[in-house]
Chain A
Amino acid sequence: MKLVHKYVDRDGKGDMSFIPEEMDDIWHAYNLITEGDVVRASTVRKVNLESSTGSGTTFRTRTTLTVSVESIDYDAQGCKLRVKGRNMEENEYVKMGCYHTLDLVLNRKFTLMKMHWDSVALERVEIACNPTQSADVAAVIMQEGLAFVCLITSNMTLMRTKIDVSIPRKRKGFVQQYEKGISKFYDTIIQAILRHVNFDVVKCVLVASPGFVKDQFHEYMIQQAIKTDNKVILDNKAKFMLIHSTTGFKHSLQDVLQDPAVVNKIADTKAAGEVKALEQFYTTLQCEPAKAFYGKKHIEAANESQAIETLLISDSLFRSQDVNLRKEYVKIVDSVRESGGDVKIFSSLHPSGERLEQLTGLAAILRFPMPELDEDDEEDSETEE
């Protein structure tokens, strides 16, 4: 993301202008903008002009609008943000207070005004504007009849296609039906790969499955490519990497990212680091349960005693619509850092982040064992749900 303008005063109030340049930047923007912020961007608005007789003409016009944000939708597929809110600055086309939805897309400047840029938001800006050489990886994870084509960047795993077909089982006298079903299934996957994987930027395509599906598929794909003389696949043959996974479901991508061969190839993407940290948390929970806490209550208690060594926190918490809640989470992050702890903010778009999110979104490995909170307390927090 390119930062083209920045002004933040001493109280943290201010505005910044950005130009998103990569897919990840849209995700960063999604995490930066919260309800109540003000966003300005150029947009197209439909205008109806009505003459005194009542007949009207409609035209579209490009205009710059400033809205006070009420809702934000992230469109991972189309790679854009839809920011909806009321108009704050009247112009000749749009009245004050009218609703408008701004589409924030790649390579289009937008300005974000916040009453308070907190540490987490500022850190996000820093990460977003710091160009890392992101190893772009595509992954196909599958089992018979089910396949996902995903793109993995350092900040997210984007599911591009889900293929779900039923393939007849092998049965006496019906083997062709099985074989026909499976080649149709493979053809669909090949189509999806060709459509969604841009081999100019993608350095590696992981093909993962339990059993031999991956090998069969790979063989089939190469054969088909030779048959149809498909240059795209033949030229990029070396980019395909076959990995064993335990299931064909999306969450098994986590196992795939842990495979040593993959770790070597895609090195230190954020994803791999997150997977490792979560794994470490679970190991601690297994061996020394008193040093692994999760849930807001427990984390707050541990934080008070300055016991947190590593804090795992899901970025979804900072997208909370409740401003005060967001503040509380920011405070935890700040105070852990102050006391010398490490904070890992998980992207909720990675399988590991999804998993942390399910685990209350907040977990920590402690420096020293602490007693578990009372059962009563626990029960309170559960009923609050």
Chain B
Amino acid sequence: MSRHRNIRSMDFEEECDAFDDVYGHSVEDDYSMSPSQAAFMYNRNNIQIGSYLNSQKDIEEEDEEIESNEELKKAKLESCVEQIRGTLGTTMTRQQIVDAVVGFDYNVERALNSLLNENPKTQESNRSSKVQTEDLPSSKVVGGSSGAQGKTRTVTKGFDVVVQKDVSRLSSTPDSQSPASGRGTPVNVDEELNKKWEPKIDVLAQYKKDRSDSKQHLYMIVIGHVDAGKSTLMGHLLCSLGQVHQKVMHKYEQESRKLGKQSFMYAWVLDETGEERNRGITMDVGRSQFETQNKLVTLLDAPGHKDFIPNMISGAGQADVALLVVDATRGEFETGFDFGGQTREHALLVRSLGVSQLAVAINKLDTVSWSKERFDDIKDKLKVFLKQAGFREADVTFVPCSGLSGQNLVKKSTENELISWYNGSTLLEVIDNFRPPERPISKPLRFSINDIFKGVGSRLCVSGRVETGCLSAGDRVLLCPSREIATVKSITLEDVPYPVVYAGDQPTVTLSGVEMENVSVGYIMCDIQSPVQVASKFQCRIVVFNVKVPITKGYPIVLHHQSLMEPASFSKLISQLNKSTGEVVKKRPRFLSNNTSAMVEIQVSRPIALEMYSEYKELGRVTLRVGGLTIAAGLITKIIL
């Protein structure tokens, strides 16, 4: 009997001791805790009291692992006992039930049967299966992945490493007690495990064949301070290109006039919800498509208001190039640029999210009677700033225009005041001149999910961006961090079905085999043989932009990674670096202030799917925000746990 003591928690020991007592024995009421309840419990032993405890981390974590295993076992045991009690009443002693439950490996039905048949034979089999359970405890909880545990750690990229991580994730983080972790259904991926990922060799050829006869696809995000005229500019452009039916435009004109917001009629092309139209500001990224001479452009109209920057960030993560719109009106450019406006923040954000080509539309020039001085003045100021922000001078183009009157958008301007000093490109030509970005097609699949909804026939649909690799209908894919397997039913690009999509595309994918509750925005869909990494702690190199108070250890932040938004904190300030050379200036700084560069360790509140920058640029970038301000951008250099 003593053999399984280590499996169950200590309470039973006491019972055993009290067994031969003459006057009977008393039993402590055990409580089993539902996971949702557990989230509200403060257990002193589990609280990590930070750095000032002189204990060795490794050992501590191991202890905890066992403990929560025990905890889990106990809870499981309790629920089984409860169930059996429900059927049998109190005719059996608790000890008998417990024995049976443990003996039959928590299989209630079998335990019940054995208890009901109570004969020596089943007792016998009880004992033999008990022996088996001995070795199970440590691996049991992990479910299907236990097989991989014994393998040695090899490269950073293997499947086993991820599994290893998963083990600790399930058991050691306090998170595993929270309701959210219920999502982490262990997956049996044994058969897939044996195959190694290798690039489909024909993928490049296939891509050429598929896409060579169509125009280059380009994703452009339109950014700038609130009310710079982004939506109006784009709405007017779409209109002039014939993308918006005249009837529709007429309707917008009528309706916006009724609301007394006629100046927003073009913005309505992109601002579609009632809320946006009534308030006259964009709240979530609007999408539309148009063609230039050589390109098929999907435009993403970002919101300028600072409260909606999270949406803008998720949009920027999907863009290849950016169009920065600034308001040339006197005083307005200054608000947006000099005094904490979003012109700076947006430009820094898109740059740190990997956009390197930028067009600047100096808009509303009609309000300053197309003044060349104003144009040049703004251009000079922005040039200096954009260079500091990391844009190459050759990659930045300036174009004067007016979204409301539609000057210099598609056709050369008819404004004499403008033609007198400007005969450069129109906005459309500038867009057409963007260089097509590189598409990492031959890497394993990574797809960042940015929206989840029910499609036709209430099938689960996800949309987002293929960051690397390609995706075909019929593929089996892994959704991380919940590690759910799904099958791709169909793929559409702007409502047209496609059999295969490639890196850079932003399709809508219909999935089967997975529930809506088990996927969230910010999840990564990836190749089963070569899955994305999952961790809640990582090292990254950051550039600190502008902070009101210095960054210290423990500083709470919101982490943005693709479309994901998650609370996090700095768990360690490793070193402060020289901004240009990258040399270590100071080890373990006490704090970081404005315009510094540093190596830090970040702890996220729950595991997320991510990659090192050196391996997958697209998934190796993070943006850190505090109190509605972007305080830093970083590149992931090392994944810890």
Contacts and interface: CB of A to CB of B under 8 A. Distances in A.
Contacts of B47: 316, 319
Contact of B27 (A47, A73, A75): A47
B23 A92 contact: yes
Contact of B567 (A164, A249, A321): A249
B27 A74 contact: no
Interface in A238-290: 246-247, 249-252, 255, 279, 282-283, 285-286, 289
Interface in A367-383: 372, 375, 378-379, 381-382
Contacts of B593: 286
Nearest to A160: B40
Contact of A384 (B54, B279, B549, B567): B54
Interface string B534-549: 0000000000000011
A77 B53 contact: no
Given A171-B451, A286-B593, A357 B50 contact: yes
B210 interface: no
B26 interface: yes
Nearest to B570: A358
B352 interface: no
Contact of B520 (A93, A166, A251): A166
B275 A216 contact: yes
Contact of A285 (B26, B549, B627): B549
A93 to B, nearest CB: 5
Given A210-B628, A382-B588, A99 B10 contact: yes
A77 B41 CA distance: 8
Contacts of A320: 49, 53
Interface in A317-361: 317, 319-322, 325, 354-361
A223 B80 CA distance: 46
Interface stretch (A11-19, A117-125, A132-140, A174-182): A174-182
B26 A48 contact: yes
A228 interface: no
Contacts of B273: 170, 175, 178
B279 A169 contact: no
Given A46-B26, A325-B53, A285 B93 contact: no
B553 A212 contact: no
A92 B23 CA distance: 9
Interface stretch (B126-134, B484-492, B554-562, B615-623): B554-562
A169 B451 contact: yes
Contact of B28 (A73, A100, A385): A100
Interface band, chain A? 35 or more
A75 B40 contact: yes
B76 interface: no
B558 A249 contact: yes
B51 A294 contact: no
B553 A359 contact: yes
Contact of B24 (A50, A316, A378): A50
B379 interface: no
B516 interface: yes
B374 interface: no
A92 B50 CA distance: 44
A296 B27 contact: no
Contacts of A385: 51, 53, 57
A34 to B, nearest CB: 9
A219 to B, nearest CB: 11
A289 B26 contact: no
B40 A159 contact: yes
Contact of A166 (B516, B549, B591, B627): B516
Interface string B35-64: 001001111110101111110010000000
B554 A46 contact: no
A358 B556 contact: yes
Interface band, chain B? 35 or more
A74 B53 CA distance: 21
Nearest to A174: B453
A71 B42 CA distance: 11
A319 B453 contact: no
Contacts of A246: 307, 626-629
B29 interface: yes
A295 B29 contact: no
A359 B552 contact: yes
B372 interface: no
B37 to A, nearest CB: 6
Contacts of A384: 51, 54
B590 A372 contact: yes
B305 interface: yes
A320 B45 CA distance: 9
B49 A282 contact: no
Given A283-B549, A320-B53, A360-B553, A168 B24 contact: no
Contact of A101 (B29, B51, B572, B625): B29
B315 to A, nearest CB: 10
A35 B451 CA distance: 49
A360 B49 CA distance: 8
B272 interface: yes
A98 B11 CA distance: 9
A372 to B, nearest CB: 7
B627 A255 contact: yes
Nearest to A355: B556
A382 B627 CA distance: 29
Given A101-B28, A361-B49, A74 B41 contact: yes
Contact of B307 (A210, A289, A372): A210
B347 to A, nearest CB: 21
Contacts of B187: none
B118 interface: no
A44 B558 contact: no
A95 interface: yes
A379 B573 CA distance: 12
Interface string A163-196: 0101011111011011000000000000000000
A375 B587 contact: yes
A45 B26 contact: yes
Nearest to A278: B549
A93 B24 CA distance: 9
B474 interface: no
A77 B37 contact: yes
12 contacts: A56-B93, A71-B44, A98-B18, A98-B28, A99-B14, A101-B28, A177-B453, A247-B558, A320-B49, A358-B569, A378-B587, A384-B51
User: Which 8 A-B residue pairings sit nearest by Cβ, starting from the closest?
Assistant: A358-B554, A246-B628, A168-B453, A77-B40, A282-B549, A74-B42, A49-B24, A359-B554
Interface of B: 10-11, 14, 18, 21, 23-29, 31, 37, 40-45, 47, 49-54, 57, 90, 93, 179-180, 272-273, 275, 279, 283-284, 287, 305, 307-308, 310, 450-454, 516, 519-521, 548-550, 552-556, 558, 567, 569, 572, 586-588, 590-591, 593, 625-629
Given A211-B307, A283-B549, 6 more contacts: A45-B29, A255-B627, A282-B552, A285-B549, A317-B52, A320-B49
